[in-house]
Structure 1
Amino acid sequence: MLKGILTVGGWTMASRVLGFLRDMLIAASLGAGPIADAFFIALKLPNLFRRLFGEGAFNAAFVPAFASTLTLDGRAQARALAERMSTLMTLWLTLLAALGMVFMPQVLHVLAPGFTDEPIRFGLAVEMTRITFPYLVFICLTALISGVLNGLDRFAAAAGAPVLFNLLSMAALFALTPFVATPGHALAWGITLSGVAQLLLVWIAAARAGMPLRIVSRPRLTPAVRLVLRRMGPGLVGAGVTQLNLAVDVIIASLLPAGAVSYLYYADRIGQLPLGVIGAAIGTAMLPLLVKQLRGGKPLSAHRTMNRALELSLALALPAAAAQAVLAWPIISALFMRGAFGELEAAATSAALTVYALGLPAFILVKAYVPGFFARGDTATPVKVSIVIVVLNLALNLILTRYIAHVGIALATGLSAWVNVIALAWILRRRNQWRPDRRLRRRLPRLLLATLAMTAVLVALRMAIPEPVGSTARLVALGVYVAAGLATYFGLAQVLGALSLGDLRRRR
């Protein structure tokens, strides 16, 4: 599992670094005005559907079924299952994309109701979202083939595909801007083109792994296909609770003054670095392994796998959250404060990042707990939990935004995530499907102590170092903070026995 986590995490880190470069260019070009708000809606809508239908519901249902078929019935039957599912997904997603493009104004009336009072911003959002919506088809099929690769214990191509998303987005911003209405339109075209490129990459990787997939002319609803489809329904909510909460956030943010959508986007992008590198990597590598251990009659191995995943999640999530909370202003000002993105925008975004950081450990722990349900074929229980979470998030949004505007959205999301993770852990514990082992109980207080020490060092440095002036000086100061935080945390964690770097080296 650790090897898979390192592979996925490494490629995700590369993608996130490129993503920061892309966002720096977007901030300098678009700032946080109407064009930026419209583009971020155009980016969020297909990504929401992608995470629900592609990564969320589909992975929750398909990866366990594919891994079980591969283990019990062999590669031929597993490939047949993947081809039938790819055909059904192609038909369904193409229809969904076509309807979405036709009825995009009506869709945005629901998902961005605050834009309707501003015809220019609403018109830009409709145009850009129509350009990006076909991305949904390509990226969901990419998620399907990525599930095949993960089931084969091949993680590199699927984890590296998002690198193309960032590269092509930046290339489109430079190459297409002179030929389209706004830089936002150029970015929208880059997103759709990146979907084609990512699909091509994972298909070639699957073919090289001996699993070339093709579209079958008459897909059969075999028992395995029906099982995947049945599990996809509850998986839409169960695995996609975070995305549903983000959709609520977008709706509420659209009702706030111009710029709120952009502030939350930039803050969320910083939070997505540890969430993607840690949370997504752990969830991706953990699910097929848990399925194989449980199907192979090794419940104790599955128990150890889950505890080690939780231990690694906490070891990386706790310091990441503390550092983001303390360093919100240095991070945002160093990365984004240039061009059209000024001090006012940086202050509003850093306030949202500070609050987002409070919920970061919960976002990551959800990624570690949910596979404990999916590996057992249980996609219904997370649905029951997530219904409560979505309602709670909506209620908190409506209350908190009245007092702290867009920061209230970030706070509501974080509080809801903590309720979600506590509920999932309690249910697994009550069913005797998970309990914290002695190693996890012993190391958690030591991880907390190392995190507190790192936080104290960062606070002291912030008080000692004068506010830097200029982009280069801000980046240098941020580098000093990061280096000091890393040295303090990992050094003390090693001394306290909270982490063993030797274990990591031996398991690479």
Structure 2
Amino acid sequence: MLIKSIFTNSSGILVSRILGFIRDLLTASILGANIYSDIFFVAFKLPNLFRRIFAEGAFTQAFIPAYAKSKRKIRFSSMVFLQLLGFLIVLSLLVSLFSTLVTKVIAVGFDAKTIDLAAPLVAINFYYLPLIFIVTFMAALLQYKHHFATTAYSTALLNLALIAALLISKDFEKYEITYYLSYGVIVGGILQVLAHLYAIKNKNLLKIFTFRREKKRESSFYKRFFEATLGSSTSHISAFLDTWLASFLVSGSISYLYYANRVFQLPLALFAIATSIALFPMIAKAIKNKDEQRALYLLRKSTIILFSILSISTAIGIIFDDFIIWLLFQRGAFDAVDTQNTALILSMYLIGLLPFGLAKIFSLWLYSYEKQFIAAKISMKALAWNIVFSLAFIIPFEAAGLAFASTLSGFILFYLTIKEFGLQKFINLFKNKSLI
């Protein structure tokens, strides 16, 4: 079941990422790497940051173990859904009302004119957050039932919406194109919601609404959720920090980091994230049933597979970095200099592929034991080192230095995660023949 689930997630992610690269190819060709691409990426980065922290990361890590242990699953899940959705809708309205102030905070290096251009886009894009939370909530229910296909493939709908927006607006003024892209984000979110509604109806999971509360389980969930939020936020804050610092560098730096990170995220998502999505409910259930031997077996099997694949991916990516960026992006407004700058940043990111991927797998052990606070402390330490490295490397190495700082923090994250898991237990994981 593990291999099948990993393959389902990987194939769905691959389809989505192929469409994502087509989207990025069109974006690079039509917008290039300039102030217009920068303001769209900044506008889309904020809801993406919150999406990954609250929805995809912290929510799933806290929800699945709590849902597994809940005796009144419908009551527990429905109140969590209504409470968090209400919060995110209010947050989106506040961002919309104060979009100029929010834009000043997230892009300090932008001048007043650029902030005025970006603010309306920030307001539009942020409404993607409540939509994607609805998707993530339904996805968590489906994951618990070992149904991964809908979530894996539905991300493609966002990319299809953005590709359509680019094709429709390609002959328009560049600033107008950014509006089409922003509304495309919202359309993509709506399509993802509809796809998941169809799936949970087929799985007979639509009975998720009741106004009776399960206060004890809710309280436990929110405690773990806020701890998981702290932990999940660090890697995304790191990426956000890169964007913030890059706004002080030459025009196009934000876009270089974005395009390089998109390539880096392909093997990370295709293998590490796909594996963690499939593995988490299995480990959580094994630990709930006090079957630690089964959990360790699954962890060992996943680690061996992931280590092999990520090592090969790292070598290929670094050797062919220029070729990859040239093949994917060098056309139209994206020239040879842009390719060279982006390729260097890609190599800096790829050095950290293996530690980031393995850390993601071993963190599942902590989440399954509801040790979200410990995982959060580990992530915060890695983030602190990332900030130190970023400030040290930005002046001599510019955008490439920011990418390498992120990579170094990945090694620290992996070491601290394994230390908490247990160094001896980690060694025994591969020496113990009973786990084969």
TM range (shorter): over 0.9
Question: Equivalent residue for 2:198?
Answer: 204
Structure 1 CA distance for aligned equivalents of residues 155 and 185 of structure 2: 11
1:285 aligns with 2:278: yes
Instruction: Choose from 237, 240, 253 the match for 2:233.
Output: 240
| Equivalences for residues 226-237 of structure 1 within 5 A | 226-237=219-230
Give distance in 2, aligned partners of 1:362 and 1:430: 15
- Once the two structures are superposed, the pairs formed by residues 149-188 of structure 1 within 5 Å of their partners are 149-176=142-169, 181-188=175-182
Q: Does the Cα contact within 8 Å between 1:87 and 1:219 map onto a contact in 2?
A: no
Is 1:265 equivalent to 2:258 in the alignment?
A: yes
Contact 2:418 2:426 in 1 (8 A): no
Structure 1 residues 355-386: Cα deviation after superposition (integer angstroms, max 9, x where no partner): 11101111211220111100111101111111
Q: 1:367 aligns with which of 349, 354, 360?
A: 360
| Partner deviation per Cα, 1:112-154 (whole Å, 9 max, x = no partner) | 1111x2x332222212111111000101121111111001110
- 1:16 is matched with which residue? 17
When normalised by structure 2's length, the TM-score is 0.95
Q: How does 1:330-409 map to 2 (within 5 A)?
A: 330-409=323-402
Deviations 1:413-445 (A, max 9, x none): 0000110011101110159588432289xx9xx
Match of 2:85 among 75, 90, 94: 90
- Contact between 1:66 and 1:82, CA under 8 Å: does it hold in 2? yes
Bigger-Rg structure (1/2): 1
Partners in 1 of 2:54 and 2:197 — Cα distance?
A: 19
- Structure 1 position 239, deviation (Å): 2.6
Alignment check: 8 A CA contact 2:30 2:170 kept: no
Equivalent residue, structure 1, for 2:183: 189
C-alpha distance in 2 between matches for 1:179 and 1:224: 52
**CA distance in 2 between partners of 1:336 and 1:137 (Å):** 31
Q: 1:62–1:228: 8 Å Cα contact kept in structure 2?
A: yes
Residue 121 of structure 1: aligned partner: 114
1:289–1:426 distance in 2 versus 1, CA, 3 Å: same
Partner SS, residue 204 of structure 1: helix
Q: Are 1:105 and 2:106 counterparts?
A: no
- Report deviation, 1:52: 0.5
The letter for the 2-side match of 1:201 is A
- Is 2:318–2:350's contact at 8 Å kept on the other side of the alignment? yes
How far, CA to CA, are the matches of 1:83 and 1:105 in structure 2? Answer: 35
8 Å CA contact 1:264, 1:406 repeated in 2: yes
Which has the higher relative contact order, 1 or 2, with Cα contacts under 8 A spaced 6 or more apart?
A: 2
CA shift in 2, pair 1:295/1:307, >3 Å: same
Distance 2:89 2:38 in 1: 27
Letter in 1 for 2:402: I
Structure 2: distance between partners of 1:311 and 1:238? 25
* One-letter amino acid of the counterpart of residue 96, structure 1: L
Does the CA contact (< 8 Å) of 1:169 and 1:191 recur in 2? yes
Between 237-246 and 273-282, the greater mean CA deviation after superposition: 237-246
Tell me if structure 1 keeps the 8 A contact 2:296–2:429.
Answer: no
Cα distance change, pair 241–377 in 1 and its aligned pair in 2 (3 A): same
1:337 is displaced (CA, Å) by 0.4
CA shift digits 1:35-82 (9 cap, x unpaired): 00001111111000000010111111101112333xxx4xxx323322
Moved over 4 A (4+): 176-181, 213-216, 430-435
Judge conservation of contact 1:207–1:213 (CA < 8 Å) in 2: no
Instruction: Identify if the C-alpha distance between structure 1 residues 435 and 120 changes in structure 2 by more than 3 Å, giving closer, same or farther.
Output: farther
Gapped regions of structure 2 (runs ≥ 5):
none
Measured in 2, the distance between the counterparts of 1:104 and 1:431 equals 50
Find the residue that maps to 2:422 and give its secondary structure.
Answer: helix
Tell whether 2:269 aligns with 1:276.
yes
Answer whether contact 1:68 1:292 (CA < 8 A) is retained: no
Shift of 1:254: 1.2
Identify the residue that residue 496 of structure 1 maps to in structure 2. Answer: none
Counterpart contact for 2:375–2:417, Cα < 8 Å = yes
Give the deviation of 1:408 after TM superposition: 0.5
Q: Could you tell me how far apart the structure 1 residues matched to 2:268 and 2:68 are? A: 25
Q: Determine the C-alpha separation between the residues in 2 that align with 1:366 and 1:111.
A: 28
**Gapped regions of structure 1 (runs ≥ 5):** 444-508
Distance change (3 Å), C-alpha of 1:435 and 1:206? farther
My pick for the range that moved more, 177-186 or 414-423, is 177-186
Distance 1:40 1:15 in 2: 19
Amino acid at match of 1:78: K
TM-score, normalised via structure 1 length: 0.82
Aligned partner of 1:410 in structure 2 is 403
CA contact under 8 A between 1:396 and 1:412: conserved in structure 2? yes
Q: 1:434 to 1:213 in 2, by over 3 A?
A: farther
1:297 matched to 2:290 = yes
Question: Retained in 2: the 8 A contact 1:282–1:367?
Answer: no
